[in-house]
Amino acid sequence: MSQARVQAARTLAQVLRGQASLAAMTTVDLPPRDHGFYKALCFGVCRELPRLEHLAGQLLKQPFKVKDQDIQALLLLGLYQLYYMRVPPHAAVGETAGAARTLKKPWATRVLNGCLRRADRERDTLLAAADQDMEASLRHPAWLVDTLKQAWPAHWETIVAANNEAPPMTLRINARSDQTRDAYLARLSEQSIDATATPFSRDGITLAVPCDVDSLPGFEDGDVSVQDEAAQLAESLLAPHLSESCHFLDACCAPGGKTAHLLERHAGLNMIALDNDGARLTRVSDTLTRLGLEAELCEGDATTTDWWDGTAFDAILCDAPCSGTGVIRRHPDIKHLRQPEDLTGLATLQGEMLDSLWSTLAPGGVLLYATCSVIPAENATQIDRFLARTASASALPLPLECGEPAGAGRQLFPQTGGHDGFFYALLHKAAN
Protein backbone atom coordinates (compact mmCIF):
# COMPACT_ATOMS: atom_id res chain seq x y z
CA MET A 1 0.00 0.00 0.00
CA SER A 2 2.96 2.37 0.46
CA GLN A 3 3.42 2.60 -3.31
CA ALA A 4 -0.25 3.57 -3.66
CA ARG A 5 0.40 6.46 -1.28
CA VAL A 6 3.38 7.58 -3.36
CA GLN A 7 1.39 7.47 -6.59
CA ALA A 8 -1.51 9.29 -4.94
CA ALA A 9 0.87 12.01 -3.75
CA ARG A 10 2.22 12.45 -7.28
CA THR A 11 -1.27 12.64 -8.73
CA LEU A 12 -2.54 15.07 -6.11
CA ALA A 13 0.54 17.28 -6.47
CA GLN A 14 -0.41 17.86 -10.12
CA VAL A 15 -3.98 18.67 -9.10
CA LEU A 16 -2.78 21.09 -6.40
CA ARG A 17 -0.58 22.83 -8.97
CA GLY A 18 -3.52 23.05 -11.37
CA GLN A 19 -1.62 21.00 -13.94
CA ALA A 20 -4.04 18.07 -14.30
CA SER A 21 -7.39 16.69 -13.22
CA LEU A 22 -8.19 13.34 -11.66
CA ALA A 23 -10.00 12.39 -14.88
CA ALA A 24 -6.72 12.74 -16.77
CA MET A 25 -5.01 10.22 -14.48
CA THR A 26 -6.21 7.18 -16.39
CA THR A 27 -3.26 4.86 -15.74
CA VAL A 28 -0.91 4.36 -12.80
CA ASP A 29 1.91 1.88 -12.35
CA LEU A 30 0.43 -0.12 -9.47
CA PRO A 31 -0.48 -3.75 -8.81
CA PRO A 32 -4.21 -4.32 -9.44
CA ARG A 33 -4.83 -4.93 -5.73
CA ASP A 34 -3.69 -1.35 -4.93
CA HIS A 35 -5.81 0.48 -7.49
CA GLY A 36 -8.87 0.73 -5.24
CA PHE A 37 -6.85 2.20 -2.37
CA TYR A 38 -5.13 4.67 -4.70
CA LYS A 39 -8.45 5.87 -6.12
CA ALA A 40 -10.04 6.14 -2.68
CA LEU A 41 -7.12 8.29 -1.52
CA CYS A 42 -7.16 10.65 -4.52
CA PHE A 43 -10.91 11.17 -4.66
CA GLY A 44 -11.29 11.28 -0.89
CA VAL A 45 -8.63 13.96 -0.45
CA CYS A 46 -10.17 16.10 -3.21
CA ARG A 47 -13.65 15.69 -1.73
CA GLU A 48 -12.42 16.91 1.67
CA LEU A 49 -9.73 19.25 0.32
CA PRO A 50 -10.84 22.60 1.82
CA ARG A 51 -11.13 20.96 5.25
CA LEU A 52 -7.85 19.08 4.96
CA GLU A 53 -6.00 22.20 3.83
CA HIS A 54 -7.32 24.06 6.87
CA LEU A 55 -6.13 21.25 9.13
CA ALA A 56 -2.73 21.23 7.43
CA GLY A 57 -2.47 24.98 7.99
CA GLN A 58 -2.97 24.46 11.72
CA LEU A 59 -0.20 21.86 11.84
CA LEU A 60 2.50 23.57 9.78
CA LYS A 61 4.61 26.46 11.06
CA GLN A 62 4.96 27.61 7.46
CA PRO A 63 3.58 26.21 4.18
CA PHE A 64 5.64 23.97 1.94
CA LYS A 65 7.28 25.52 -1.11
CA VAL A 66 5.55 25.12 -4.48
CA LYS A 67 8.17 22.59 -5.57
CA ASP A 68 7.18 20.45 -2.59
CA GLN A 69 3.51 20.07 -3.43
CA ASP A 70 4.05 16.30 -3.35
CA ILE A 71 4.93 16.61 0.35
CA GLN A 72 1.88 18.81 0.92
CA ALA A 73 -0.12 16.05 -0.80
CA LEU A 74 1.37 13.44 1.55
CA LEU A 75 0.28 15.49 4.55
CA LEU A 76 -3.25 15.74 3.17
CA LEU A 77 -3.23 12.00 2.45
CA GLY A 78 -2.15 11.25 6.01
CA LEU A 79 -4.87 13.45 7.47
CA TYR A 80 -7.49 11.84 5.25
CA GLN A 81 -6.45 8.37 6.38
CA LEU A 82 -6.48 9.39 10.05
CA TYR A 83 -9.86 11.12 10.00
CA TYR A 84 -11.86 9.51 7.20
CA MET A 85 -10.56 5.98 6.54
CA ARG A 86 -10.30 2.79 8.54
CA VAL A 87 -6.54 2.86 8.41
CA PRO A 88 -4.72 2.13 11.70
CA PRO A 89 -3.06 5.33 12.98
CA HIS A 90 0.39 3.77 12.99
CA ALA A 91 0.04 2.96 9.27
CA ALA A 92 -1.52 6.32 8.38
CA VAL A 93 1.40 8.07 10.07
CA GLY A 94 4.35 5.78 9.44
CA GLU A 95 3.62 4.66 5.88
CA THR A 96 2.65 8.14 4.73
CA ALA A 97 5.67 9.83 6.28
CA GLY A 98 7.95 7.11 4.95
CA ALA A 99 6.66 7.69 1.43
CA ALA A 100 8.69 10.92 1.37
CA ARG A 101 11.84 8.80 1.01
CA THR A 102 10.47 7.23 -2.18
CA LEU A 103 9.82 10.75 -3.44
CA LYS A 104 13.53 11.41 -2.75
CA LYS A 105 12.78 13.97 -0.05
CA PRO A 106 13.87 12.19 3.14
CA TRP A 107 14.00 15.53 5.00
CA ALA A 108 10.19 15.60 4.92
CA THR A 109 9.79 12.32 6.79
CA ARG A 110 10.40 13.92 10.16
CA VAL A 111 8.10 16.87 9.41
CA LEU A 112 5.25 14.64 8.26
CA ASN A 113 5.70 12.26 11.15
CA GLY A 114 5.47 15.13 13.66
CA CYS A 115 2.46 16.74 12.01
CA LEU A 116 0.48 13.51 11.68
CA ARG A 117 1.22 12.38 15.22
CA ARG A 118 -0.01 15.72 16.49
CA ALA A 119 -3.09 15.43 14.26
CA ASP A 120 -3.86 12.08 15.88
CA ARG A 121 -3.35 13.41 19.42
CA GLU A 122 -5.25 16.67 18.97
CA ARG A 123 -8.01 15.41 16.67
CA ASP A 124 -10.96 16.97 18.53
CA THR A 125 -9.32 20.38 18.95
CA LEU A 126 -8.21 20.58 15.31
CA LEU A 127 -11.58 19.49 13.93
CA ALA A 128 -13.44 21.92 16.18
CA ALA A 129 -11.30 24.76 14.81
CA ALA A 130 -12.00 23.61 11.25
CA ASP A 131 -15.74 23.69 11.95
CA GLN A 132 -15.44 27.42 12.66
CA ASP A 133 -14.10 28.10 9.16
CA MET A 134 -16.74 28.37 6.43
CA GLU A 135 -14.73 26.78 3.62
CA ALA A 136 -13.43 23.99 5.85
CA SER A 137 -16.85 23.31 7.33
CA LEU A 138 -18.71 23.23 4.01
CA ARG A 139 -15.78 21.69 2.07
CA HIS A 140 -16.30 24.18 -0.76
CA PRO A 141 -14.37 27.29 -1.82
CA ALA A 142 -15.99 30.53 -0.67
CA TRP A 143 -16.64 31.84 -4.20
CA LEU A 144 -18.64 28.74 -5.09
CA VAL A 145 -20.67 28.83 -1.89
CA ASP A 146 -21.49 32.50 -2.53
CA THR A 147 -22.48 31.73 -6.12
CA LEU A 148 -24.78 28.90 -5.02
CA LYS A 149 -26.34 31.02 -2.27
CA GLN A 150 -27.14 33.80 -4.71
CA ALA A 151 -28.47 31.47 -7.41
CA TRP A 152 -30.39 29.03 -5.23
CA PRO A 153 -31.14 30.48 -1.78
CA ALA A 154 -33.59 27.68 -1.03
CA HIS A 155 -31.39 24.86 -2.37
CA TRP A 156 -27.73 25.75 -1.84
CA GLU A 157 -27.36 23.79 1.38
CA THR A 158 -28.71 20.57 -0.16
CA ILE A 159 -26.50 21.09 -3.22
CA VAL A 160 -23.41 21.44 -1.03
CA ALA A 161 -24.39 18.43 1.07
CA ALA A 162 -24.92 16.26 -2.02
CA ASN A 163 -21.59 17.43 -3.49
CA ASN A 164 -19.81 16.18 -0.39
CA GLU A 165 -21.27 12.69 -0.64
CA ALA A 166 -19.79 9.81 -2.62
CA PRO A 167 -21.92 9.42 -5.78
CA PRO A 168 -24.13 6.42 -6.48
CA MET A 169 -23.30 4.03 -9.32
CA THR A 170 -26.10 4.07 -11.88
CA LEU A 171 -26.45 1.76 -14.87
CA ARG A 172 -28.31 1.98 -18.17
CA ILE A 173 -29.68 -1.19 -19.69
CA ASN A 174 -29.17 -1.64 -23.43
CA ALA A 175 -32.59 -1.31 -25.02
CA ARG A 176 -31.35 -3.32 -28.04
CA SER A 177 -30.52 -6.38 -25.94
CA ASP A 178 -33.07 -9.11 -25.27
CA GLN A 179 -33.87 -8.02 -21.74
CA THR A 180 -36.09 -5.72 -19.75
CA ARG A 181 -34.98 -3.63 -16.82
CA ASP A 182 -36.77 -6.03 -14.47
CA ALA A 183 -34.96 -8.96 -16.08
CA TYR A 184 -31.58 -7.32 -15.53
CA LEU A 185 -32.49 -6.50 -11.94
CA ALA A 186 -33.17 -10.21 -11.50
CA ARG A 187 -29.73 -11.04 -12.96
CA LEU A 188 -28.13 -8.65 -10.49
CA SER A 189 -30.05 -10.25 -7.64
CA GLU A 190 -28.78 -13.67 -8.69
CA GLN A 191 -25.25 -12.26 -8.32
CA SER A 192 -26.16 -10.87 -4.85
CA ILE A 193 -25.91 -7.30 -6.18
CA ASP A 194 -28.56 -5.11 -4.56
CA ALA A 195 -30.09 -2.58 -6.95
CA THR A 196 -33.27 -0.61 -7.66
CA ALA A 197 -34.90 0.95 -10.72
CA THR A 198 -34.35 4.69 -11.13
CA PRO A 199 -37.49 6.81 -10.64
CA PHE A 200 -37.12 9.08 -13.69
CA SER A 201 -35.23 7.17 -16.40
CA ARG A 202 -36.95 4.16 -17.94
CA ASP A 203 -33.59 2.48 -18.55
CA GLY A 204 -31.78 3.25 -15.30
CA ILE A 205 -30.72 1.08 -12.36
CA THR A 206 -28.95 2.35 -9.24
CA LEU A 207 -26.70 0.00 -7.29
CA ALA A 208 -26.87 0.01 -3.49
CA VAL A 209 -23.07 -0.28 -3.43
CA PRO A 210 -20.75 0.63 -6.34
CA CYS A 211 -18.79 -2.25 -7.83
CA ASP A 212 -16.24 -2.97 -10.52
CA VAL A 213 -17.83 -3.17 -13.97
CA ASP A 214 -16.20 -6.57 -14.48
CA SER A 215 -18.56 -7.98 -11.85
CA LEU A 216 -21.67 -6.76 -13.70
CA PRO A 217 -23.36 -9.57 -15.62
CA GLY A 218 -23.23 -8.99 -19.37
CA PHE A 219 -21.17 -5.80 -19.21
CA GLU A 220 -18.57 -6.96 -21.73
CA ASP A 221 -21.37 -8.20 -23.99
CA GLY A 222 -22.92 -4.73 -24.03
CA ASP A 223 -26.02 -5.53 -21.97
CA VAL A 224 -25.45 -2.59 -19.66
CA SER A 225 -23.44 0.64 -19.32
CA VAL A 226 -22.59 3.04 -16.52
CA GLN A 227 -24.42 6.37 -16.82
CA ASP A 228 -26.01 8.74 -14.32
CA GLU A 229 -29.79 8.99 -14.36
CA ALA A 230 -29.82 12.72 -15.16
CA ALA A 231 -27.70 12.12 -18.26
CA GLN A 232 -30.08 9.36 -19.36
CA LEU A 233 -32.96 11.83 -19.56
CA ALA A 234 -31.57 13.39 -22.74
CA GLU A 235 -32.85 10.43 -24.76
CA SER A 236 -36.39 10.60 -23.39
CA LEU A 237 -36.59 14.36 -23.99
CA LEU A 238 -35.50 13.97 -27.62
CA ALA A 239 -37.46 10.78 -28.35
CA PRO A 240 -40.78 12.43 -29.37
CA HIS A 241 -38.90 14.48 -31.97
CA LEU A 242 -36.91 11.68 -33.60
CA SER A 243 -38.30 10.01 -36.72
CA GLU A 244 -36.95 6.99 -38.57
CA SER A 245 -33.69 7.82 -40.38
CA CYS A 246 -33.55 11.18 -38.61
CA HIS A 247 -30.38 13.12 -39.46
CA PHE A 248 -29.02 13.73 -35.98
CA LEU A 249 -26.02 15.57 -34.53
CA ASP A 250 -24.56 14.77 -31.13
CA ALA A 251 -22.30 17.77 -30.50
CA CYS A 252 -19.56 17.48 -27.85
CA CYS A 253 -20.35 13.77 -27.76
CA ALA A 254 -17.44 12.39 -25.70
CA PRO A 255 -17.29 10.14 -23.77
CA GLY A 256 -20.30 8.77 -25.64
CA GLY A 257 -22.90 7.82 -23.04
CA LYS A 258 -25.73 9.86 -24.53
CA THR A 259 -24.59 8.91 -28.05
CA ALA A 260 -24.94 5.23 -27.23
CA HIS A 261 -28.24 5.65 -25.40
CA LEU A 262 -29.83 7.39 -28.38
CA LEU A 263 -28.58 4.71 -30.78
CA GLU A 264 -29.80 1.94 -28.47
CA ARG A 265 -33.30 3.39 -28.40
CA HIS A 266 -33.46 4.60 -32.03
CA ALA A 267 -31.98 2.05 -34.39
CA GLY A 268 -32.63 4.07 -37.56
CA LEU A 269 -30.89 7.21 -36.37
CA ASN A 270 -28.45 8.70 -38.87
CA MET A 271 -26.00 9.90 -36.24
CA ILE A 272 -23.00 12.19 -36.56
CA ALA A 273 -21.05 12.31 -33.29
CA LEU A 274 -18.91 15.46 -33.11
CA ASP A 275 -16.11 16.30 -30.70
CA ASN A 276 -13.02 18.50 -30.93
CA ASP A 277 -10.74 15.99 -29.18
CA GLY A 278 -9.54 13.02 -31.21
CA ALA A 279 -8.44 11.08 -28.14
CA ARG A 280 -11.89 11.45 -26.59
CA LEU A 281 -13.47 10.34 -29.87
CA THR A 282 -11.45 7.13 -29.53
CA ARG A 283 -13.25 6.53 -26.24
CA VAL A 284 -16.58 7.07 -28.01
CA SER A 285 -15.54 4.55 -30.65
CA ASP A 286 -14.60 2.00 -27.99
CA THR A 287 -17.95 2.48 -26.27
CA LEU A 288 -19.91 2.01 -29.47
CA THR A 289 -17.89 -1.07 -30.39
CA ARG A 290 -18.61 -2.72 -27.03
CA LEU A 291 -22.31 -2.04 -27.49
CA GLY A 292 -22.43 -3.09 -31.16
CA LEU A 293 -23.48 0.38 -32.33
CA GLU A 294 -22.40 2.61 -35.21
CA ALA A 295 -22.17 6.35 -35.79
CA GLU A 296 -20.14 8.64 -38.00
CA LEU A 297 -17.46 10.11 -35.75
CA CYS A 298 -16.32 13.59 -36.68
CA GLU A 299 -13.52 15.65 -35.15
CA GLY A 300 -14.39 19.33 -35.25
CA ASP A 301 -15.10 22.52 -33.33
CA ALA A 302 -18.80 23.08 -32.62
CA THR A 303 -18.28 26.85 -32.43
CA THR A 304 -17.63 26.81 -36.18
CA THR A 305 -19.16 25.02 -39.17
CA ASP A 306 -15.85 24.05 -40.78
CA TRP A 307 -16.65 20.36 -40.20
CA TRP A 308 -20.20 20.53 -41.62
CA ASP A 309 -21.09 19.25 -45.11
CA GLY A 310 -24.13 21.53 -45.42
CA THR A 311 -26.84 18.91 -44.87
CA ALA A 312 -29.15 20.33 -42.21
CA PHE A 313 -29.87 18.25 -39.11
CA ASP A 314 -33.37 17.30 -38.02
CA ALA A 315 -32.33 17.29 -34.37
CA ILE A 316 -29.26 18.24 -32.35
CA LEU A 317 -28.02 17.44 -28.89
CA CYS A 318 -25.70 20.18 -27.59
CA ASP A 319 -24.06 18.71 -24.50
CA ALA A 320 -22.13 21.89 -23.86
CA PRO A 321 -18.78 22.19 -22.05
CA CYS A 322 -19.49 23.63 -18.60
CA SER A 323 -18.21 24.18 -15.08
CA GLY A 324 -19.24 20.67 -14.00
CA THR A 325 -20.71 22.09 -10.79
CA GLY A 326 -23.55 19.56 -10.93
CA VAL A 327 -21.15 16.60 -10.84
CA ILE A 328 -18.64 17.75 -8.21
CA ARG A 329 -19.21 14.56 -6.22
CA ARG A 330 -17.94 12.57 -9.24
CA HIS A 331 -15.13 15.03 -9.98
CA PRO A 332 -14.27 16.51 -6.57
CA ASP A 333 -11.09 18.14 -7.88
CA ILE A 334 -13.42 20.72 -9.48
CA LYS A 335 -13.49 22.38 -6.05
CA HIS A 336 -9.81 23.21 -6.49
CA LEU A 337 -9.39 23.47 -10.25
CA ARG A 338 -12.42 25.59 -11.16
CA GLN A 339 -12.09 29.34 -10.59
CA PRO A 340 -14.80 32.05 -10.70
CA GLU A 341 -13.29 33.68 -13.77
CA ASP A 342 -13.79 30.40 -15.67
CA LEU A 343 -17.55 30.96 -15.72
CA THR A 344 -17.30 33.96 -18.03
CA GLY A 345 -15.22 32.08 -20.56
CA LEU A 346 -17.49 29.06 -20.45
CA ALA A 347 -20.61 31.17 -20.93
CA THR A 348 -19.03 32.83 -23.96
CA LEU A 349 -18.08 29.44 -25.42
CA GLN A 350 -21.56 28.04 -24.86
CA GLY A 351 -23.16 31.04 -26.57
CA GLU A 352 -20.88 30.70 -29.58
CA MET A 353 -21.67 27.01 -29.77
CA LEU A 354 -25.42 27.59 -29.67
CA ASP A 355 -25.25 30.19 -32.45
CA SER A 356 -23.09 27.99 -34.67
CA LEU A 357 -25.10 24.80 -34.18
CA TRP A 358 -28.39 26.63 -34.73
CA SER A 359 -27.25 27.45 -38.26
CA THR A 360 -26.93 23.72 -39.02
CA LEU A 361 -30.43 22.86 -37.75
CA ALA A 362 -33.22 22.40 -40.29
CA PRO A 363 -36.37 24.56 -40.01
CA GLY A 364 -38.84 22.70 -37.82
CA GLY A 365 -36.02 20.88 -36.02
CA VAL A 366 -35.18 20.79 -32.32
CA LEU A 367 -32.02 21.36 -30.33
CA LEU A 368 -31.65 19.99 -26.81
CA TYR A 369 -29.22 22.06 -24.75
CA ALA A 370 -27.68 20.25 -21.78
CA THR A 371 -25.05 20.93 -19.13
CA CYS A 372 -23.97 19.23 -15.93
CA SER A 373 -23.88 22.63 -14.22
CA VAL A 374 -26.04 24.29 -11.57
CA ILE A 375 -24.87 27.84 -12.39
CA PRO A 376 -27.60 30.01 -14.04
CA ALA A 377 -25.07 31.90 -16.20
CA GLU A 378 -24.44 28.63 -18.06
CA ASN A 379 -28.06 27.52 -18.06
CA ALA A 380 -31.24 29.58 -17.71
CA THR A 381 -29.49 32.90 -18.37
CA GLN A 382 -27.62 31.42 -21.32
CA ILE A 383 -30.83 30.19 -22.94
CA ASP A 384 -32.75 33.40 -22.21
CA ARG A 385 -30.04 35.40 -23.99
CA PHE A 386 -30.04 33.00 -26.94
CA LEU A 387 -33.83 33.26 -27.31
CA ALA A 388 -33.64 37.05 -27.12
CA ARG A 389 -31.17 37.27 -30.02
CA THR A 390 -32.58 34.42 -32.16
CA ALA A 391 -35.92 35.18 -33.78
CA SER A 392 -36.36 31.67 -35.17
CA ALA A 393 -35.98 30.01 -31.75
CA SER A 394 -38.64 29.18 -29.20
CA ALA A 395 -38.60 26.98 -26.10
CA LEU A 396 -40.65 23.80 -25.83
CA PRO A 397 -41.98 22.43 -22.53
CA LEU A 398 -39.98 19.68 -20.86
CA PRO A 399 -41.93 16.67 -19.58
CA LEU A 400 -39.73 16.15 -16.52
CA GLU A 401 -40.95 15.31 -13.04
CA CYS A 402 -37.60 16.08 -11.40
CA GLY A 403 -35.91 19.41 -10.85
CA GLU A 404 -37.67 22.76 -11.10
CA PRO A 405 -38.35 25.38 -13.79
CA ALA A 406 -35.38 27.61 -14.57
CA GLY A 407 -36.05 30.20 -17.23
CA ALA A 408 -36.99 28.39 -20.43
CA GLY A 409 -35.48 25.14 -19.17
CA ARG A 410 -35.36 22.92 -16.14
CA GLN A 411 -32.70 22.69 -13.45
CA LEU A 412 -31.93 19.40 -11.72
CA PHE A 413 -29.97 19.48 -8.48
CA PRO A 414 -27.63 16.69 -7.31
CA GLN A 415 -29.53 14.27 -5.09
CA THR A 416 -28.02 12.22 -2.28
CA GLY A 417 -28.28 8.66 -3.56
CA GLY A 418 -29.93 9.91 -6.75
CA HIS A 419 -29.22 11.77 -9.98
CA ASP A 420 -26.55 14.40 -10.63
CA GLY A 421 -27.09 18.12 -11.13
CA PHE A 422 -28.12 18.87 -14.72
CA PHE A 423 -29.84 21.48 -16.87
CA TYR A 424 -31.98 20.91 -19.95
CA ALA A 425 -33.67 23.27 -22.40
CA LEU A 426 -35.45 22.14 -25.58
CA LEU A 427 -35.47 24.65 -28.43
CA HIS A 428 -37.56 24.59 -31.62
CA LYS A 429 -36.61 26.23 -34.91
CA ALA A 430 -39.45 27.95 -36.76
CA ALA A 431 -40.52 26.09 -39.90
CA ASN A 432 -40.53 29.25 -42.03
Q: Which residues are catalytic?
A: 372
Rounded CA separation 130/50 (Å): 10
Please tell me the number of Cα atoms within 13 Å of 312 on its side-chain side. Answer: 12
Rounded CA separation 55/35 (Å): 27
DSSP for residue 22: G
- Which region holds residue 51: left if phi is over 0, alpha if psi is between -120 and 50, else beta? alpha
Rounded CA separation 377/350 (Å): 10
Rounded CA separation 46/77 (Å): 10
Give the long-range contacts of residues 388-391, CB within 8 A, separation 24 or more: 390/355, 390/358, 391/430
Full DSSP string of 229-265 = HHHHHHHHHHGGG--TT-EEEEET-TT-HHHHHHHHH
Distance of alpha carbon 408 from the chain centroid:
24
Residue ranges of alpha helices (H) inside 132-267 are: 134-138, 142-151, 156-163, 181-190, 229-238, 257-265
Tally helices (H) and strands (E) across the chain: 17, 13
- Determine phi and psi for 50, rounding to 5 degrees: -60, -35
Please give the C-alpha separations between residue 342 and each of 321, 322, 352, 378, in angstroms, as whole numbers.
Answer: 12, 9, 16, 11
Q: Identify residue 347 by its one-letter amino acid code.
A: A
Return the ∠ at Cα 130 (arms to 127 and 134), rounded to 5°: 150
Give the long-range contacts of residues 387-392, CB within 8 A, separation 24 or more: 387/427, 390/355, 390/358, 391/430, 392/358, 392/363, 392/429, 392/430
Nearest 10 degrees: CA dihedral of 199, 370, 163, 332? 130
Please give the C-alpha separations between residue 136 and each of 53, 57, 118, 169, 327, in angstroms, as whole numbers.
Answer: 8, 11, 19, 27, 20
Cis before 255 (ω within 30): yes
Please tell me the number of Cα atoms within 13 Å of 267 on its side-chain side. Answer: 5
Rounded CA separation 259/274 (Å): 10
